[in-house]
């Protein structure tokens, strides 16, 4: 945050969180939530409201293709847009960025206008150069882009404010699918078997788990062929999901949810020896074409299959006996979904709706939900 404050005080950047962060100091950093030391994520308090503060210190994982989908952060210079850039010119910059990231999807100029509204942090109807510099730095980040695109959706955390490339988003009470999350230092020393039994101990009751699971299925619907194309979930793990005290699912970390167009561009023609070289994040896999030694561009497993994989043990443990068998059958046919299958879209919606209906039917009879 010190870089941001230096830049703010010298008038380079601006944003709705800058004053609280740098002048009145009413934006506090609390507990660090990062499981990795290089990506800074804190529980924070901003003007007495709880939030999650994220600062970009993203050192790309080396196994991610050599080129990350998000530029490597040595230090953000906030050098764009340059002084003298007109609003019209800035709009064109944002438009070309979106075209490269999202392809020719939906109404991109509408999205550009949406970004300008978000960038206008002090809501004076004008985007200042400082605000534009902050917005441009933030737009390089997938999570920020997704938060703006899905800002009206229930499972996307709301953006509270930003300063430079630091941003504050709505916080959730529980920051992991299982009711306990530990600091990464402790995580390192806990054997995984013991960790699993700890997780099970602190898991919510079954009807509540079912409600959280429905939330994840709805989020999968939100990112699957939304107004700006398809987004791929490339790190589907319990630690990226949270929920609030009403057991509504909220995404905690969306940095590895990337536009399909963007991923395809990057992965095709990537040199590979085997399929293991064709992975982005932890679980967006394509195959290695042995005749050309290049990665193909089609991701093998759809988001829904990965979500079901994640939910399988979560939902089957403690599931009511009368639906257990049906639930297991549906989860397995969901995990088996492949992207290449003919009529995949129809099969996808069918499986998704069947699962949601089964879970809703079961929990609408319990007062727990």
What's the pLDDT at 66?
41
Token code pair at residue 108: 């991109």
Cα separation, 224 vs 51, in Å, equals 27
pLDDT at 63: 36
SS3 of residue 61 by DSSP:
coil
- Other beta carbons within 10 angstroms of residue 336's beta carbon come to 12
Class of domain 184-364: mainly alpha
Predicted pLDDT of residue 168: 94
Q: Residue 252's closest CA among 188, 181, 175?
A: 175
Q: Which long-range contacts (CB under 8 A, 24 or more apart) does 275-283 make?
A: 279/63, 280/64, 280/65, 280/69, 280/234, 281/64, 281/234, 281/235, 281/256, 282/234, 282/235, 282/236, 282/237, 282/256, 283/234, 283/235, 283/236
Beta-carbon contacts of 150 under 8 Å, excluding residues fewer than 6 positions away, are: 156, 222, 223, 226
Which pTM was predicted? 0.86
pLDDT in tens, the chain (369 residues): 677 888 999 999 999 999 999 999 899 888 777 756 556 788 888 988 888 898 865 443 333 444 445 544 455 678 899 999 999 999 999 999 999 999 887 789 899 999 999 999 888 989 999 999 999 999 988 899 999 999 899 999 999 999 998 999 988 877 777 655 555 455 556 566 665 666 656 678 899 999 999 999 999 999 987 788 889 999 998 888 988 889 999 998 898 999 999 899 888 889 999 999 999 989 999 999 999 999 999 899 999 999 999 999 999 999 999 999 999 999 999 999 988 766 677 888 899 999 999 999 988 765 544
DSSP state of 157: P
């Amino acid at each position: 945050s010190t870089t941001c404050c230096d830049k703010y005080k010298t008038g380079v950047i601006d944003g709705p969180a800058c004053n609280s962060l740098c002048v009145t100091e009413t934006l506090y950093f609390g507990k660090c939530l990062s499981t990795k030391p290089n990506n800074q994520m804190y529980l924070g308090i901003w003007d007495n409201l709880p939030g999650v503060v994220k600062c970009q210190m993203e050192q790309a994982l080396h196994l991610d293709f050599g080129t990350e989908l998000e530029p490597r952060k040595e230090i953000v210079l906030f050098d764009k847009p340059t002084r003298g850039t007109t609003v019209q010119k800035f709009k064109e910059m944002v438009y070309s960025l979106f075209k490269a990231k999202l392809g020719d999807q939906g109404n991109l100029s509408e999205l550009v206008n949406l970004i300008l509204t978000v960038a206008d942090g002090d809501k004076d109807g004008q985007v200042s150069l400082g605000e534009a510099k902050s917005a441009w730095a933030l737009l390089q980040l997938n999570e920020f882009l997704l938060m703006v695109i899905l800002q009206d959706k229930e499972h996307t955390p709301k953006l509270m404010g930003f300063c430079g490339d630091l941003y504050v988003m709505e916080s959730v009470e529980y920051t992991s699918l299982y009711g306990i999350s530990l600091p990464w230092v402790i995580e390192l020393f806990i054997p995984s078997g013991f960790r699993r039994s700890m997780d099970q101990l602190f898991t919510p009751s079954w009807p509540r788990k079912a409600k959280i699971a429905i939330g994840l299925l709805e989020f999968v619907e939100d990112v699957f062929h939304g107004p700006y194309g398809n987004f791929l979930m490339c790190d589907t793990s319990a630690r990226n999901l949270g929920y609030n005290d009403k057991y509504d699912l909220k995404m905690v970390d969306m940095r590895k949810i990337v536009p399909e167009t963007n991923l395809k561009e990057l992965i095709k023609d990537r040199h590979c020896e085997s399929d293991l070289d064709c992975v982005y994040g932890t679980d967006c896999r394509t195959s290695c074409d042995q005749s050309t030694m290049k990665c193909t561009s089609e991701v093998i497993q759809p988001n829904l299959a990965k979500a079901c994989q994640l939910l399988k043990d979560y939902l089957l443990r403690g599931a009511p006996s009368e639906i257990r068998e049906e639930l297991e059958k549906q989860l397995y046919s969901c995990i088996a979904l492949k992207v290449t299958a003919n009529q995949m879209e129809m099969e996808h919606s069918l499986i998704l709706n069947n699962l949601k209906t089964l879970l809703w039917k079961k929990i609408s009879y319990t007062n727990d939900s």
